[in-house]
């Protein structure tokens, strides 16, 4: 596992070495800097005759939009139909809820985009997309009016196409924030990639698509009524930039470092869940397997024996109305059963390393997936080898991005991913402090490879961890709640969107103060 992790890091360093450092904390400036690396490329006017029937893969970008019916389910269906019809999806943009344009008296839209490859010619691809739209239920209507699904070819290889039925690049890209935001997500911050260089030149703008996005307002628009990034979870769309979410910890284990054994009985567990909710928790994270250092690993069946009785009751209590349930597991089998019984999201401390099947399961379940950074497993994560870093924030970003790529290629869209840098996992005390203060640095490193990945929600879990006890000389984990507040506060002010805490009351108060401090500033994540 260690060798695999090291090899992944080596490969990601190789990919990233030619990327310049961008500053996504101030996106307009960074994207302008990125645009200066775009080398002009003479766009080629291609005809249907010369493009159709190509036998080589062409890189493409397809925009998605919907404002009728169950928009998220429609997107999921469209993705599956594209995959089964000749499109290999390699990247996803974030998910955006946007105000309608042109015809404004209609429901709000969901918008996103995918990047992939296909051997279909451009007009064959267009025909296939129209068939998908029709199969999903789109019929004729007023132009720019409501529609269950809209699939547009934004880019096709390095070609410029102008025929009676197809114009590529799409002629209205420059005026549509709901198109440019997802498109930019699919790019890296560098113009060194050959296909991206040609795409930027096709924008007909010296600064490429980055400059077009900035001209419309860029990141300053995100979080406004015009356009918001959202996370589909349960029956809602969460705008994680609106306020910090609090995840309350509910351990069902006898050996967790903080409160092991307290909540093994169903009644005690439900009482604790109610307390967490009353104190301000938005999410209850239920764990039936200890992941403390050197913890004994349970089988999936043993984990389910602890989890199911509590889960079956907690989903039915009135206090859970409007709240979310997360299952803390690295087993695909446990995740599947938990979601079937009412859990809304999967929190995997291994990021798919301990049970690679979990990616496919999470993709099929269609729920948010939290990928945490850890090297090895709980029995080896604090070994000397796994604690070696030259630059902890950079290496955490690179290793997390490897997990993002594996998750996306397994069918989990970027818009259902949450990233956790893994405080206390495979890290010394100093590393934990660097990560908490370096969340923006982690985002910047992500942005060198995928701007969209730099925007996903970050979950931070420093609660009662050993490093806080070392700093404050508190041997008893329960006495570390005040120190936890300090760590949570620093994390939120540096870009965390969800905080995982044992004391939800303290965590909620810290979040409220941090949100008040940030009020009036647009969310830059």
The DSSP string of 193-240 is SHHHHHHHHHTTSTTHHHHHHHHHTGGGGBTSSSEEE-EEETTEEE-T
Q: Which pLDDT belongs to residue 169?
A: 94
Question: Is 3 buried (19+), middle (13-18) or exposed (0-12) by CB count in 10 A?
Answer: exposed
Residue 148's CB is within 10 A of a number of other CB atoms, namely 19
Would you mind telling me the total number of residues written for the chain in this entry? 525
Class level of CATH domain 243-523: alpha beta
DSSP-H helix ranges across 326-450: 332-340, 357-365, 392-409, 429-437, 439-447
CB–CB of 274/497 below 8 Å?
Answer: no
Dihedral over Cα of 203, 205, 208, 211: its sign: negative
Backbone angles phi, psi at 152, to 5 degrees: -125, 140
Q: What is the pLDDT along the chain (525 residues), one digit of tens a residue?
A: 434 444 444 444 443 333 333 333 333 333 433 333 333 333 334 444 355 555 689 999 999 999 999 999 999 999 999 999 999 999 999 999 999 988 888 999 999 999 999 999 999 999 999 999 999 999 877 777 789 999 999 999 999 999 999 999 988 899 899 999 999 999 986 656 789 999 999 998 989 999 999 999 999 999 999 999 999 998 899 999 899 999 999 999 875 555 555 767 899 999 999 999 999 999 999 999 988 776 778 999 999 999 999 999 999 999 999 999 999 999 999 999 999 999 999 999 999 999 999 999 999 999 999 999 999 988 899 899 999 999 999 999 999 999 999 999 999 999 999 999 999 999 999 999 999 999 999 999 999 999 999 999 999 999 999 999 999 999 999 999 999 999 999 999 999 999 999 999 999 999 999 999 988 554 455
Domain ranges within the chain, ordered by starting residue: 58-229, 243-523
Degrees to nearest 5, angle at CA 394 with 515 and 207: 80
Tell me how many helices (H) and strands (E) the chain has. 18, 19
**Across the strands, what pairs with 348?**
371
Coil, helix or strand at residue 474: coil
Sheet holding 159-162, edge to edge: 44-46, 159-162, 167-168
Query: Is residue 509 within a helix (H) or strand (E), and if so which, with residue range?
Result: helix 504-518
- Is the entire prediction scored with pTM above 0.85? yes
Beta pairing, strands 44-46 & 417-420 = unpaired
Answer whether 81's CB lies under 8 Å from 131's CB. Answer: no
Helical pair 439-447 and 429-437, crossing angle rounded to 10 deg: 70
Query: Residue 5: what are its φ and ψ, rounded to 5°?
Result: -65, -45
Reported as type and span, the H/E element at residue 48 is helix 48-51
Number of Cβ within 10 Å of residue 356's Cβ equals 12
Q: Is 418 helix (H, G, I), strand (E, B) or coil?
A: strand
Q: Which residues are catalytic?
A: 465, 500
CA dist., res. 147 & res. 435, Å (int): 44
Q: What superfamily would CATH give domain 58-229?
A: 7,8-Dihydro-6-hydroxymethylpterin-pyrophosphokinase HPPK (3.30.70.560)
Which of 280, 301, 297, 278 is closest to 289 using CA atoms? 297
Peptide bond into 131 cis (omega under 30): no
Q: What's the CA gap between 287 and 79, in Å, rounded?
A: 32
Beta bridge partners of 153: 62
Contact 212, 173 (CB under 8 A): yes
- What local confidence, expressed as pLDDT, does residue 471 receive? 97
DSSP 60-109: EEEEEEE-SS-HHHHHHHHHHHHHTTTEEEEEEPPPEEE---SS-SSPPE
Residue 27: per-residue pLDDT = 39
């Amino acid at each position: 596992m260690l060798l695999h992790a090291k090899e992944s890091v080596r490969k990601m360093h190789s990919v990233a070495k030619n990327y310049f450092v961008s500053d996504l904390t101030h996106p307009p400036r960074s994207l302008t800097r990125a645009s200066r690396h775009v080398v002009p490329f003479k766009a080629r006017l291609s005809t249907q005759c010369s493009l159709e029937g190509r036998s080589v893969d062409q890189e493409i970008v397809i925009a998605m939009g919907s404002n009728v019916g169950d928009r998220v389910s429609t997107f999921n269906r469209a993705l599956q139909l594209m995959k089964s019809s000749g499109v290999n999806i390699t990247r996803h943009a974030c998910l955006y809820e946007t105000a309608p344009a042109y015809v404004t008296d209609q429901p709000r839209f969901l918008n996103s985009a995918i990047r992939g490859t296909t051997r279909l010619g451009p007009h064959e691809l267009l025909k296939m997309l129209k068939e998908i739209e029709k199969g999903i239920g789109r019929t004729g209507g007023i132009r720019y009016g409501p529609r269950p699904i809209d699939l547009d070819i934004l880019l096709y290889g390095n070609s410029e196409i102008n025929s009676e039925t197809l114009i590529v690049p799409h002629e209205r890209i420059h005026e549509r924030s709901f198109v440019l935001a997802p498109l930019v997500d699919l790019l890296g911050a560098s113009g060194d990639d050959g296909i991206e260089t040609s795409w930027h030149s096709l924008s007909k703008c010296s600064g490429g698509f980055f400059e077009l996005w900035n001209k419309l307002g860029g990141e300053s628009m995100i979080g406004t009524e015009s356009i918001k990034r959202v996370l589909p979870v349960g029956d809602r769309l969460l705008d994680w930039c609106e306020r910090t979410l609090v995840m309350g910890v509910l351990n069902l284990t006898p050996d967790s470092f903080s409160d092991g054994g307290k909540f093994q009985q169903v009644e005690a567990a439900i009482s604790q869940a109610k307390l967490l909710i009353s104190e301000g928790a938005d999410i209850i994270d239920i764990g039936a397997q200890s992941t403390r250092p050197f913890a004994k690993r349970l089988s999936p069946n043993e984990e389910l024996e602890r989890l199911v009785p509590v889960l079956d009751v907690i989903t039915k209590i009135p206090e859970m109305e409007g709240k979310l349930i997360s299952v803390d597991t690295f087993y695909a089998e446990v995740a599947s059963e938990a979601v079937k019984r009412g859990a809304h999201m999967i929190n995997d401390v291994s990021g798919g390393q301990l049970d690679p099947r979990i990616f496919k399961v999470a993709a099929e379940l269609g729920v948010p997936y939290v990928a945490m950074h850890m090297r090895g497993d709980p029995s080896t994560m604090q070994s000397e080898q796994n604690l070696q870093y030259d630059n902890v924030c950079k290496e955490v970003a690179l290793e997390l991005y490897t997990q993002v790529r594996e998750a996306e290629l397994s069918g989990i869209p970027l818009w259902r991913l949450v990233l956790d840098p893994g405080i206390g996992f495979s890290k010394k005390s100093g590393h934990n402090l660097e990560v908490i203060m370096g969340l923006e640095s982690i985002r910047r490193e992500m942005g060198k490879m995928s701007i969209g990945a730099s925007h996903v929600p970050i979950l931070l879990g420093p609660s009662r961890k050993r490093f806080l006890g070392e700093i404050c000389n508190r041997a008893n984990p329960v006495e570390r709640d005040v120190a936890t507040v300090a760590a949570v506060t620093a994390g939120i002010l540096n870009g965390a969107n969800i905080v995982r805490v044992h004391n939800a009351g303290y965590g909620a108060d810290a979040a409220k103060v941090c949100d008040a401090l940030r009020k009036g500033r647009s969310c830059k994540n």
